[in-house]
Amino acid sequence: MDRLVEVALAARLHAHAPFSHFLVGAALEDSEGRVHTGCNVENATYGLTLCAERVAVFKAVSEGARQFRRVAVAADTDTLTPPCGACRQILWEFCGDVELVLVNLHGKTETFRLKDLFPRPFDASFL
Ligand code: THU
Task: Please name which of 96, 19, 83, 80 lies closest in space to residue 55, comparing C-alpha atoms.
Answer: 83
What's the pLDDT at 75?
99
Q: Are 32 and 9 in contact (CB under 8 A)?
A: no
Read off the pTM. 0.98
Q: Collect all residues with Cβ–Cβ distance below 8 Å to 13 and sequence separation of at least 6.
A: 23, 25, 39
C-alpha Rg value of the chain to the nearest Å: 14
| Rounded CA separation 99/4 (Å) | 12
pLDDT tens profile 25-71? 999 999 999 999 999 999 999 999 999 999 999 999 999 999 999 99
- Of 32, 53, 93, 99, which one is the catalytic site residue? 53
State the pLDDT confidence band at 1, using cuts at 50, 70 and 90.
Answer: confident
Q: Given ligand 1 and candidates 19, 41, 84, 90, which is best to mutate, with the most ligand atoms within 8 Å of its CB?
A: 84
